[in-house]
Amino acid sequence: MRIWIDADACPRAAKELVAKFALKRKLEVVMVAGQPVAKPAFACVRLVVVPSGMDAADDYLVEQAEPGDLVICSDVPLADRLVKKGVDALDPRGREFDAKNMGERLAMRNLFTDLREQGQVGGGQAAYGEKDKQAFANALDRLLTRLNKG
């Protein structure tokens, strides 16, 4: 089992939490990015920089991740592709992507994209805070425990 991280948009605190969990469980972490990014200084963490291009990192993650692996990402269309392939996905705020919630998550994403384009809502998500970090740690622990049993 590997843990993959869509590293371009993942908060540093979440990357560090993943590395600590992986170290404890003796798992490999692969961070995938479209450009060089800082990575936690643990031997279990490797960085793969893919050639730049629209969705190059997403395509790499979908090609390389396998059922039984876990991908950390906040990109809903990427998560949808992974879930359809049987790969578990979790966002850095602790929300799990699965076949039951993907339709709703995609619809919400598309709605907010449309509203932003029309100027009816602004910005993105709030800053990554302690509550997010704790929710992510709890969800990550729960998911890794479940995946290691299966």
Query: Domain of 20: which CATH number?
Result: 3.40.50
Q: What pLDDT does 112 receive?
A: 66
Residue with tokens 């031997």: 43
74 domain residue, yes or no: yes
Q: What is the pLDDT of residue 122?
A: 65
Q: How is residue 31 written in tokens?
A: 């961070």
Residue 147 lies in a domain: no
Q: Does residue 140 lie in a domain region?
A: no
What is the per-residue pLDDT for 138?
97
Q: What is the pLDDT of residue 97?
A: 92
pLDDT digits (tens, 9 = 90+) for 35-44: 899 999 899 9
* Per-residue model confidence as pLDDT tens digits over 2-33: 999 999 889 999 999 999 999 999 999 999 99
Task: Say if 22 falls within a structural domain.
Answer: yes
- For the whole model, what pTM was predicted? 0.86
C-alpha to C-alpha distance for 136 and 99, rounded to whole angstroms: 20
Is residue 105 in some structural domain? Answer: no
- Nearest partner of 9 among 95, 83, 62, 72, judged by Cα: 72
What would the pLDDT profile of 80-137 be if each residue is shown by its tens digit? 999 999 999 999 999 999 988 877 877 777 666 677 677 776 666 678 999 999 999 9
Question: In the chain, how many domains are there?
Answer: 1
Domain span at 45: 2-97
**In this predicted structure, what is the pLDDT of residue 127?**
86
Which residues, 6 or more positions from 25, have their beta carbon under 8 angstroms from its beta carbon?
Answer: 144, 148
Residue 131 domain-assigned? Answer: no
Nearest residue to 7 (alpha-carbon basis) of 42, 44, 43, 46: 46
**Residue 81 neighbours by CB distance under 10 Å:** 20
Q: Is residue 40 part of a domain?
A: yes
Helices (H) and strands (E) in the chain, counts: 5, 6
Q: Is residue 92 assigned to a domain?
A: yes
Cβ-proximal residues to 34 (8 Å cutoff; 6+ apart), any chain: 8, 49, 50, 52, 53, 56, 57
What span, in angstroms and rounded, lies between the C-alpha atoms of 36 and 59? 17
